[in-house]
């Protein structure tokens, strides 16, 4: 290794270190920009103006991929007999349940009996026994639209009203009406108070409960980060190859030296 420490090679080593460090730091910067972009989009989604549910999706539509976390408004009537509870929900470090009551989405003067229903997360409680009675009557809901969950978790007891996840296919077993392909985390309801969290026994489920922004948000920054890191790895590879070749050159004597040792004259 001593030949690699010769003063004439210091510049090459310094250049390799500089290129590698610069590539790593630039990659970290782009990675940070990617994370920031995702967080900014998630915050923008949660605080965006609410749109009428009909402008975002209908009961017959698959969930629109660009509407995750979109604030929406809807009107209709509560379906208290179809209330379900979603287990293993965490709020501020505590595990509990979500209280979910569907709302038949229907306008004033129209029948709600056959109207499609939207699952509405009313709030969080430590136990099912702590959840207050489901509300009844007409309601206007503002909240964050979410796709139904579907992580293939099986319901250990399909006959009760406690679900392991908020999957539309499971919840529809408890509702006599068609369901939208998603659910709404309630921010406010009227009548009944300014926020769901004001109801006795329930804590508000906040935007912190919304899923993280997609990995593909700000994808260009992530690709730039990977590109810089690949460049840094390539710089290290070139430096290693050069060092290996230099050591090999030092170990191999020149032709004149070989001729002198072996007694064979080199060709003119």
Residue-number span of the structural domain to which 119 is assigned: 69-209
Indicate whether 84 and 127 sit together in one domain.
yes
Distance CA 79, CA 19 (A): 64
Question: Residue 60 domain-assigned?
Answer: no
Indicate whether 74 and 176 sit together in one domain.
yes
Indicate whether 24 and 123 sit together in one domain.
no
Where is 29: in which H helix or E strand?
helix 10-47
Q: Within 10 Å of residue 215's Cβ, how many Cβ atoms?
A: 10
The answer to whether the CB of 166 falls within 8 A of the CB of 173 is no
Whole-number pLDDT of residue 174: 92
Question: Residue 58 domain-assigned?
Answer: no
This prediction's pTM: 0.63
Indicate whether 107 and 163 sit together in one domain.
yes
Over residues 231-245, the pLDDT tens digits come to 778 778 877 777 777
Residue 113's pLDDT band, with cuts at 50, 70 and 90, is confident
Over residues 118-128, the pLDDT tens digits come to 999 999 999 99
Distance CA 240, CA 67 (A): 49
Number of structural domains (the chain) is 2
Question: Residue 266 domain-assigned?
Answer: no
């Amino acid at each position: 290794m001593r030949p690699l420490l010769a003063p004439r090679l210091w510049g090459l080593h310094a250049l390799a270190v500089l290129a590698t460090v610069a590539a790593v730091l630039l990659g970290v910067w782009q990675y940070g920009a990617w994370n920031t972009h995702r967080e900014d989009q998630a915050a923008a989604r949660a605080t965006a103006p609410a749109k009428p549910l009909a402008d975002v999706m209908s009961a017959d539509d698959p969930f629109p991929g660009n509407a995750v976390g979109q604030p929406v408004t809807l009107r209709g009537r509560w379906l208290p007999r179809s209330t379900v509870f979603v287990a293993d929900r965490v709020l501020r470090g505590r595990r509990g349940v979500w209280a979910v009551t569907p709302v038949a989405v229907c306008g004033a003067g129209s029948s709600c009996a056959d109207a499609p229903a939207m699952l509405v997360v009313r709030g969080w409680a430590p136990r099912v026994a702590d959840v207050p009675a489901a509300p009844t009557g007409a309601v206007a809901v503002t909240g964050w639209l979410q796709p139904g969950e579907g992580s293939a978790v099986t319901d250990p007891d399909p006959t009760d009203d406690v679900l392991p996840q908020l999957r539309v296919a499971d919840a529809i077993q408890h509702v006599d009406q068609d369901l939208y392909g998603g659910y709404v985390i309630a921010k406010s309801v009227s009548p009944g108070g300014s926020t769901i969290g004001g109801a006795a026994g329930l804590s508000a489920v906040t935007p912190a409960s919304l899923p993280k922004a997609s990995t593909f948000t700000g994808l260009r920054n992530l690709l730039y980060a990977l590109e810089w890191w690949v460049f840094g790895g390539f710089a290290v590879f070139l430096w290693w190859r050069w060092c290996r070749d230099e050591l090999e050159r030092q170990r191999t004597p020149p032709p004149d030296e070989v001729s002198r040792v072996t007694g064979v004259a080199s060709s003119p």
